[in-house]
Amino acid sequence: MKIGFIGLGIMGRPMALNLKSAGHELFIPDRGSLTQELRAAARVLGDAAAVAEQADIIVLMLPDTPDVERVLFGAHGVAEGLARGKLVIDMSSISPIATRDFAARIAAMGCDYVDAPVSGGEVGAKNASLTIMAGGSEAAFARALPLFEAMGKNITHVGAEAGAGQVCKVCNQIIVALNIQAAAEALTFAAKAGADPARVRQALMGGFAASRILEVHAERMINRTFQPGFRVRLHQKDLNLALSAAREMGMALPNTAIAQQMFSAVVAQGGADQDHSALVRAVEAMAGMAGS
């Protein structure tokens, strides 16, 4: 298929290359940051409108809600290049409420829309093993499925309404954040109490506390390897989405609010672009421990 891909950052770059490896023809907008590998793999066009004009399916992988709105509906945006029957797939993690509005505006142009945020980080993107959570009609999901299979392993059609995928992703980010905070508190407690955090983690991995967070993120905390797989500022953004939606629904997410504030503390320490496992730095600071 002819695939337009917009948003070629840490996650988008390997996702696009996996689509190329699966045999699809790739169109991307020109940017100074494009690698030679991407330029060789794709046809490089002037802007998002030109990409949408040439492609049958347009995939977005952008940082936040305003970015998606600008790329879709701004000057020289995707909407300017759409024709009836095309499919837009937004794999960004953005507001479920805004997603419903975007989908309605695209549908009014005679095109399909699927929201399909992902989990799995840079490693999952490179290995084509992402978890993909999709919202949209059965027909639109069926069109998108071959692309999802080239980028991910655990693919779920969450619901037929636009925004269902984004709701699922917000749920994912709540659970991940609270587990990162739990691991950070446990390891900081162990160190403060005089135990070896690495040995504590090793012991916990064999018990009921075992988890992917304890396996991956706790090891990063111990080794102080905070190079971003998923940046603090992006997880902070996702928790803000959760809290904003909860406020609109009249419900409380108390532990999510605490985790969001812990990420804010890491940002205040200059860690906005570190991996979200760097939340441990905020916990250590509260414990009066010098971390790096």
Task: Round to whole Å and give the CA distance between 251 and 191.
Answer: 36
Task: Kindly report the number of other CB atoms within 10 A of residue 270's CB atom.
Answer: 9
Residue among 189, 161, 180 nearest 220 (CA): 180
Task: Round to whole Å and give the CA distance between 139 and 235.
Answer: 31
For residues 136 and 113, the answer to whether their CB atoms sit within 8 Å is: yes
Annotated active-site residue 2? The verdict is: no
Q: Catalytic one among 20, 86, 153, 169? A: 169
Residues in the chain: 292
Helix, strand, coil share of the chain (percent; to 5): 55, 15, 30
CA dihedral 68, 74, 79, 80 (to 10 degrees): -150
Active site residues: 169
